[in-house]
Each structure stands twice: as structure tokens, then as C-alpha cells.
Amino acid sequence: MRLARDHRYSLLVLLGVGLQFINAILNLNVFGVSALADVLFISNMIVAALALVSQFFLEQFWVFYAEIKQSGRDAALEFYGAALSVAMILQIVFVAVLQAGMPIVVGLFARNLDATRLSLIMPVMRLQAIGFLLYPLITINATVINAEDRIGVGYILQLLPLVVTTGAFGFFFAFHISSVLLLVGITVAGNVALAAIQAVIVGRIGVRFRPRLRNPHLGGYLKHSFTLRLGQNVNNVLQQPIITNSLSSFAAGFASAYTYARRFADIIYSVVVGPSFTLLRMNINDNYPLKKVSLIMQGFGRFYRNAVVVIPLIVATYFLLRPFLSIAGMGKIDLGMIGTIRQVFLLASIWLVLLIIEQPFYLLIISAKKSLFFLIENCIYICILFLSVHFLQPRIGIACIPVAMAIAQAGNNVMNISMGLATMRNLGTVDRK
């Protein structure tokens, strides 16, 4: 049964990868390697970092929901209503502050942008911020769908924004449109549709939203989510301004080249990990409270067995990138930029492999609620990343970013694996044969 489910989700991953591939081709043809593409990609990086701020009071929802559900479904539904109510109130405040301070925010993330790209990015960021209002609703409902063992449905819904964006790129390509602002507007509309569809599905599952601001589990949930996300956000939020400020200091087009390279690496991550990460997270969230070490270890094994194909995929992609970019770019990417994309991709793949190795231990530590550990670990990560980027940028150019990320990630792996093994030992006896 589990094997059949894994294969079913693998097919969904392939569907998602196909959409990402089509999206990348259309993106190359619509925006190419240009100032417009830089604005799109840098704004998306800023949005990704700011979206993580919203995670401050969402991070531990799945863990608490799974634990509370074991004592009764009604208690879990009451917790769902309280968690979502508080998250939406906080999100409204966050978006209001963000809109008021948008020039400061853009300055913090991309202080080296030239006047042309700066004038283009401001209206794009203001429109992107509107989409933040729905972020808690989409995140919590997606978690509920997965927690109720509707992972296939959840993954299909996860593809909806990609479908909308790919459709928009297709429209732009057909009618020779190159408007970043219009693209972002269509993306926001797609997120509204996603939130509406999720709400219908969650209701049909039997999870009814009843607004409430009090719940016996709410205080512990908010505390653990905030402290855990605080530790993680030292990495996830502060990493982005280091990267975007570095990218904004290069000439127009280099930020696009870096992002295309990372996108190809992300596609490989989706192929290799995909829903295996979600299945492993379910495994740990379900079995950690019950201290079922053997079942957690089985989950680790399945995850790593699925991940071994990453190396041949990286090698094949590296050699295929030159002809692919030459053909798909339709003359919009010169040979120098193609070489840059291939170089950044190969270096980013080293970071990707290190990240995959870390994932099971990372999820285990999250379930163990080791908030202080994440804070210390990620402070070290950011310090290493910051120093590495600033030391390497004058020496190796745009390649400084993936190299610095790999160096910092290697340090993370040592700490995460050590803490993960210690956590496993605390659960019970681990077979050392």
C-alpha cells in the first residue's frame, strides 16, 4: 500500500516537474536574461523571505494538530479554529506595516539596484504584498489536508499557482507581452483561487472553521512556533538579503542567470525529494510522540533510497544545459551567460546534495521542538554565509553565492546530524548493527 502511494505521488512530482520545465522555457522566451527578469526574480526572493516571517506563528501547526488529534478530533478542530483566527489577525497587521515601510524593505534586500530596476521593483513589491493576506489560510489549510492523509490532493493543489503562472507565460509569449506587474497580478489571482478551493476541500473533509481566540493549546503552540521559527528565520530570512544584495551589485542579467541555475537545481530537488519529504514528515510527526524509533528509521531509509538518483541527474543536467539553453533561449541568452548558468548550477548542486542529506535529521529535530538549537545553529550558518560571500565575491564573482551556501550548509549538516542522532537515542535504543 505504501509503495503504491509512493509511486502515485512520484507521478504527481513528474507532473509538477513538467510544469516547472515548461515554465522555465516560457520564462526564458518572455524575459530572457534582462533587467525585467532581474526585477521578477529579486522580488520573488524578497517575497519568499517575507513570507517566512508569517511562519512565526504557523511553524508548529502540523506537530500540534497531530498530537491533539490523538486525544480527539473535536479538540483538534477547536485548535484549528483558534490557530487560524490568530494567524489571520497577525497577518493583517503584518501586511499593513509592510506596505507602509516598503521602501525600507526593498532597501534592506536590494540596496545596490540601479535606478531603472529600483523603479520597476517598487510597484511589483506592493502588489506582491497583497498576496500575503492569504498566506496563513493557504498554509494552515494545506497542512490540514496533508494531516488528514489527503497528500495527493494537497500536492495537486500545490501545483495550481504554477499552472496559473505557466498559463500567464504562455499568454505573454503568444501575444509578445513582457509585463512583470501583470504577471504578479495574475499570480495573486491564482493564490486567491487556491485559497477558495482549499477551503471547500477542507470543509468536505469535515474540518469546519469556527473563529475563536482562546484554546488551551494555543499558548504552547504560539510559543513553540515563534521560538522555533525565530531560530530558523535567522537562516531563512537573513540568508535572502545576503543573496539579493550580492545579486543586485552585479550588472543587469546576472541575477536572472543565477535564478535560472537555481531553478534547474530546484527541479532536480523536486524529482529526487518531492512528496518523499512530506511522507517522511508525516512519518516523524505520527511516530515521534509514540516513540516508535524503528518506524522513524524506516522512514529515513525510504527517503535516502529515493534520493540516491540525485548524482546522475545533476551530471546529466549539467551537460544538457548548453544545448537546451541555446535552443530554448531562442537567441536571448549569449554563450557567456550560458556558461555562467552552468557554472552556478553545478556549484548549487553541491549545496543541494548537502541539503538532502540533512533533511531527515532536520525534521526529527523540529518534532523534538529544539528551538534553542536552531537559533544557535542558524546564527552560525548566517555568519559563515555572510563572511564567505563577502570574501569570495571579489574573487569568483557570481559563483560566490552557491559556494558560500555549500560551505555554510556543510557546517549545518554536522550540527543537525549530531543533534538528530542524540534525539533518536533519547527516544529509545537504536540498532547499531
Can you tell me whether residue 166 is helix, strand or coil?
Answer: helix
Which pairs with CB-CB distance under 8 Å and at least 24 residues apart come from 121-125? 121/39, 121/42, 121/43, 123/181, 124/39, 124/40, 124/43, 124/180, 124/181, 124/184, 125/43, 125/46, 125/47
Residue 409's contacts (CB-CB under 8 Å, 6 or more residues apart) are 351, 354, 355, 358, 381
At 332, give phi and psi (nearest 5°). Answer: -85, -5
Give the mean model confidence (pLDDT) for residues 65-69: 82
pLDDT value for 54: 77
- 6 lies in a domain? yes
- 432 lies in a domain? no
Residue 301: how many other CB atoms lie within 10 Å: 11
For the chain, how many structural domains are there in total? 1
Give DSSP secondary structure letters for 245-306. HHHHTSPTTHHHHHHHHHHHHHHHHHHHTTHHHHHHHHHHHHHTTTT-HHHHHHHHHHHHHH
* Range with the largest mean pLDDT of 76-80, 211-215, 313-317: 313-317
- 192 lies in a domain? yes
pLDDT value for 265: 93
pTM, rounded to two decimals: 0.81
Write out pLDDT tens, residues 156-186.
888 899 999 999 999 999 999 999 999 999 9
pLDDT value for 327: 85
- 68 lies in a domain? yes
Write out pLDDT tens, residues 178-202.
999 999 999 999 999 999 999 999 8
- 116 lies in a domain? yes
Write out pLDDT tens, residues 357-375.
999 999 999 888 787 888 8
- 433 lies in a domain? no
Q: Distance between CA 52 and CA 402 in Å, rounded?
A: 21
Q: Distance between CA 193 and CA 205 in Å, rounded?
A: 19
- 388 lies in a domain? yes
Please give the residue range of the domain that contains residue 161.
2-427
Q: Is 104 exposed, middle or buried (0-12, 13-18, 19+ CB in 10 A)?
A: exposed
